[in-house]
Chains A and B, each alone.
Chain A
C-alpha cells in the first residue's frame, strides 16, 4: 500500500510538472477523458500512433530539407501534419515549435528551418521520453494494485 502511495505521489508530481513546464496541455486531459472501460488503452494507443507518425514525419522533414532544391511547400505540409498530430495529443511544446517552423517555411528560410528541425527533434524526443515515463508510472501503479490518480489541471 505504501508503494502505491509513493507511486501515486510520484505520478501526480510528474504529471503536474509536465503541465507546469508546458510539455502537455489540456488537450491531453481531453484525451484522457475519452478513455474508459470500453477503450481502456485509448491514450496509450493514440500516443504510440503519434510516436510512429512523428518519427516518419521527422525523417521526411530531414530528407526534404537535404534536397538540392528544397520544396518548402512540401516541408510545410509535413510540418502541418506534425502540428496537427501534436496538438491532437496536447504536446504543446512540439506544437509551438511547429508554428515557428511554419513561419520559416513561409519565409523560405532554410537556415531557420534546419534549426527548427533540430529543435523539433529535440522537443519530440523530450516529450516522448516524458510520456513514456508517465506510462511506465501508470503501469507500475496498476501493477501495484492502485488506481491512477486523476489530474485536474
Chain B
C-alpha cells in the first residue's frame, strides 16, 4: 500500500533524475574508459616537474658560470699584475746595467756586485728563478773578450766552446741561483736566440714560449730585455736599435710556481682548475701551467686573456671547476615535491572516481537485485506448476543460477561498499560460539555428504560475549569454511578461535618444544600420525593448539604459560572496555593452493587457476571481501597452504569485550538458549584423537557436562569396570559414554560386547547411556551400531552445542518441560524485569501481525493493547494515557503510521504547552512528560524510510516480521537506563 506508493514515488523521482544520473554515469564511464588519461596526466606531471627541475638547474648553472667567470678573471688579473711587477723590476735591472756598466767608465759593476745586488733584491722578483746579463759580442770581438775574461764562450747545450758565429751573447753577470749559466752563449739556444733578436729589435721585454726550465723542470718562460749602450733617438728604427744593443738582461719565470703561489693565496675559494696557455700560434696551444688531463669538469670553462706585456705573445688562462656541478638538491626536491603534489591530486581524483565507481556499482547492483527477485519469484511459481521433468529441471537450474547471481551481486555490492568506505561495522554484543555453531550448521549437510569432518573449537579464554559486528564476522567465517568445504574431499575442516595472545604464546612454546626435544616430537608424530582433527596432515600444525597443555585449564601442571594466560584474562576482566584480540584459524585438508597462485589469493575474481573455477565453481570474490572485512575489523588475514595437503587460513580480529554487568543479561538473550540442566552430569569420551576429543569436550562443557577422555574402548571398559566393582566410591559414575565411530571397530567388538552385556544384565550401578558420534553412517552400520548397544542415539557431526544438548536430553530423558520451564524462569528474570508492568500499544491493521507483536511483548511481561488503525491509536493515546510505548505500523489504510505519529506528536506538544501554562501558576514542572516512544514497525528497511521515521518524530524502528531478539533490543534501549536508575 503506502510502501508501494512510496516505492512508486521513488521510481518517479528516479525517473526525473534519470538525466542527471545518466550524466553522472557517462562522466564515470569516461573516466573508466580513459585509463589512458590517467597515464597521460602522470606523464604531464612528470614533464612539468622535469621542466621545473631543468629551469632551476639552468639558473644554478648560470650562477655557477658567473662565479667561474669572476674567479677566472680575478686570477688572470692577479697573475698579470704580479707578472708585470716582476717585468718592471727586470726592466729596472736592465737600466741599472746600462747605466753602471756602459755609461760609467770604468764599469761600476762586476760579477760580484751584480750577484750581491740581485740576491738582495730577489724579493722584488719572487717569480723569477734568477736573472743574468749577457753581453753582445761580435765574432770580431770574441778573442779580445775571451782573453779579457779568461774563459771561452760555450754553447748552452753541450757547454763546449762555441763554434764560430756572427755574434755571441755570453752571460757575464748572473744571480747566484743561476750561476751555472755564466759564460754560456745565450744565442746558442733556439728560444733564447729568438728572444734576444726580438728584444733588441723592439726594445721591449719579450717572452719565450714555455719550456722546461734547466734546473727545476718546472714549466717556465724566459724574459729578455735589451740593454743599449747609448741613448737611443726618440723614435729609433730597428736598425738603430740593433746597433745600439750592448747586451741583454734575462730572467726565467717559473710560471708553475707563480700560478701555484697565486692560487695558494686564493685558496679557500671554491676549487677551480686553472690552465695557462701560450696561444701565440693559435693552432698549437702550449701549456704554461696545468694539465690537460686534470680530472675536472671542463664542460663549463672560462677563458681570460692575459697580457704579459709582450705584444708578440698571446696568453690565455682557462678556468674550470674541479668538481662536477653538485646535484642541485633544491631543484631536485622542489621538482620532486611538485611531482608528488601532482600525483596526490591525481590520486585524490582517482579515488573520487573510485568512490563514484563503487557508488555506481552499488546503484547498479541494487537495480539488478530488484528484477532478479522478480525472476526468482516467477521461477519459483513456475516450479510449482505442472511441468514435465525436463522443464522442471530447466526451471530448477535457472533458479539455482539466479540464486547464485543474487549472491554474487550481493558480494559485489559488499565490495563496492567497502571500497566506497561506506560499509560501517556494527558494534553490538554477540556470542561468538553460537555464531560459529550457526555457520557449522550451514555446511553440516555438505560435509556429511563428503564424509569430511567439520568441527569448531573456541578456547575457554575467549569471552562469551564480545562487542563487534556479528554479521560480518559470520560472513568471513562462512566464506572461509565454505571455501574449505568446497575444496576438501577428505580429512577435516577445523575452525579454531583463540585469544591472539594465547595463540602467540602457544606458537612460542611449540617452537621451543620442537627445538628442545626434536626426537620426541618425531616419535610422537610417528605414533599418532598427525595430531590433527582427523589424523590427516594439515598445512599448518595448529590443530595441536587445542590439546596443548598450555590451553588446557584443567591441566594439572601449571606451567608458566598457563599462568600468563590467566593473567591476561584477569587483566581483561578488570578493564571492561578493553579490546579482545582473537585469532581465528580455519584449517582444511583440501587440495591446497599452488604456490604460484598464493600471491594473488586475495585479489578479487582470482582463483588459484582457471581450472579451479571450472572444477569447483565460484568467482573468487569472497576471499577478497573477507580480507577487507577483517581489515575493517582491525585485523589481518593470511594463510598457509601446501598443495595436496591443505590450507590454513587464519586471521586476527579485534573486538571489544562486553561490560561485565551487561554480560549476564546479554548472555540470556544472545546465546541460543543452551539448556543448563546438564549440570553435574559426567561423560566419558572414547576417542583416540586428542584434537577431536577436545572438540567434543568443548561442546559438552558448553552445556555444562564434565567430560573425561580415554583413548580406546578397552580403556573405557576398564573405567566402567572400576565403577562396576567399587560402587561405593565417592566419585560419581559417568552418565554418558560417547564413542567415536572409527573407534568402534570389529577388533574391539569384544570389549563392546562386554560393555553392552553389562548394560543388559543390569550389572552396573547405573548404566551409562551410550552415544555414537559419527560424521556419516550408513543404514547398515546404523543397524549394527544399534545391535552393538548404541540403541540410545547416534549424534551426527558436525557437533553443535545445541544439537548435542537436544540429543542428550532425549537420551537422558531429561524432560523438556522441566528444562523449558527453567529457561522461561531465567528469561522472565532477564526480560520481564525490564518490561513488566509496562503498557504498550500496538497499532497495526493486520490482525496477525498485531497478535504476534502482542505475543512477543507479553512474553517480556508487558501489558499490551492493540489498535487496528491510526484513528483508533489516536483515541487511545489521548492525554493522559498510561502507555509506555507505542509500536506503529507504517503502512495502514486511511491514516498511515507517519500521519498518526505526526498527530500524536502535535497532541503532545499542545498538552505540553497547556501544562507549561499551568506550571507557571502551580509551579509544578511536568515538562516533557508527554513524549511516548513510538517505534515504527516496517518490513521496509530502506534507509530513506528509516530516516523518514526519525524525522517525523518516531523514536526507533523494529523490522518486520518480528524477531524476539530485535524487538527486545529495540525496546530495551528505552527502558534499560530508567530501570538501572530505579534499581540503584
Contacts and interface: CB of A to CB of B under 8 A. Distances in A.
Contacts of B844: 84
Interface in A113-131: 115-116, 119, 122-123
Contacts of A61: none
> What does DSSP make chain B's interface, helix, strand, loop or mixed?
helix
> What does DSSP make chain A's interface, helix, strand, loop or mixed?
helix
Question: Max chain A CB contacts within 10 Å: which of B377, B820, B846?
Answer: B846
Contact of B381 (A27, A87, A97, A152): A97
B803 interface: yes
B880 interface: no
B1 A76 contact: yes
Contact of B859 (A36, A50, A81, A106): A36
Contacts of B847: 49, 52-53, 85
Contact of B815 (A88, A93, A147): A147
Contact of A46 (B384, B851, B960): B851
Interface stretch (A37-45, A62-70, A132-140): A37-45
A100 B377 CA distance: 6
Nearest to A86: B848
B345 interface: no
A6 interface: no
Contacts, number: 110
Interface in A10-51: 27, 30-31, 33-39, 42, 45-46, 49-50
B373 to A, nearest CB: 7
Interface residues of B, number: 42
A33 B827 CA distance: 12
A42 B4 CA distance: 31
Given A84-B846, A88-B961, A36 B852 contact: no
A110 interface: no
A96 interface: yes
B16 to A, nearest CB: 18
A3 interface: no
A53 B961 contact: no
Contacts of B849: 84-85, 88
Contacts of B855: 31, 34-35, 39, 42, 46
A76 B4 contact: yes
B851 A37 contact: no
Interface string B959-974: 0111110000000000
B918 interface: no
B806 interface: yes
A83 to B, nearest CB: 8
Given A27-B961, A103-B377, A80 B851 contact: no
A73 B1 CA distance: 7
B374 A87 contact: no
Contacts of B846: 53, 81, 84-85, 88
Contacts of A49: 847-848, 851
Given A53-B847, A152-B802, A34 B816 contact: no
Interface string B826-855: 000000000000000000111111011001
Nearest to A28: B961
A96 B380 contact: yes
Contacts of A89: 848, 852
A7 interface: no
Contacts of B893: 77
Given A46-B848, A88-B852, A150-B806, A34 B859 contact: yes
B616 to A, nearest CB: 25
Given A45-B851, A80-B4, A100-B377, A39 B858 contact: yes
B891 A80 contact: yes
B824 interface: yes
A106 B8 CA distance: 8
A4 interface: no
Contacts of A35: 855
B70 interface: no
B856 interface: yes
Contacts of A119: 381, 384
12 contacts: A31-B855, A34-B856, A35-B855, A37-B824, A53-B846, A77-B893, A80-B1, A84-B939, A88-B849, A106-B4, A122-B384, A150-B806
**CB-CB nearest 5 A-B residue pairs:** A85-B848, A100-B377, A77-B1, A84-B846, A87-B961
Interface of B: 1, 3-5, 7-8, 373-374, 377-378, 380-381, 384, 802-803, 806, 815-817, 820-821, 824, 844-849, 851-852, 855-856, 858-859, 891, 893, 939, 960-964
